[in-house]
Amino acid sequence: MVKTFLFERDGLFHLMSVNEDHPPVRVPRENIEKIHYVAGIAKSALRMY
């Protein structure tokens, strides 16, 4: 699941989906084990097989 971190407030992380078909989500801080930085995501049209 790749999300964009928007902000944290009142113990909730507010995340926006990279895919525009999904709405933003709020996740309680205690439910998050790790957050990883992602430098970029290659679209399938750019992949070389």
Please, which residues have CB within 8 angstroms of residue 34's CB and are 6 or more apart in sequence?
none
The DSSP line for 1-49 is --EEEEEEETTEEEEEESSTTS--EEEEGGG------------GGG---
Q: Between 3 and 9, whose confidence is greater?
A: 9
Question: In this predicted model, what pLDDT tens digit does every residue of 28-41 receive, in sequence order?
Answer: 999 999 998 888 77
d(CA 34, CA 37): 10
pLDDT at 5: 92
Predicted local confidence at residue 49, as pLDDT: 65
CA separation for the pair 23, 17 (Å, rounded): 7
Quote the pTM value.
0.70
User: Whose structure tokens read 């750019």?
Assistant: 46
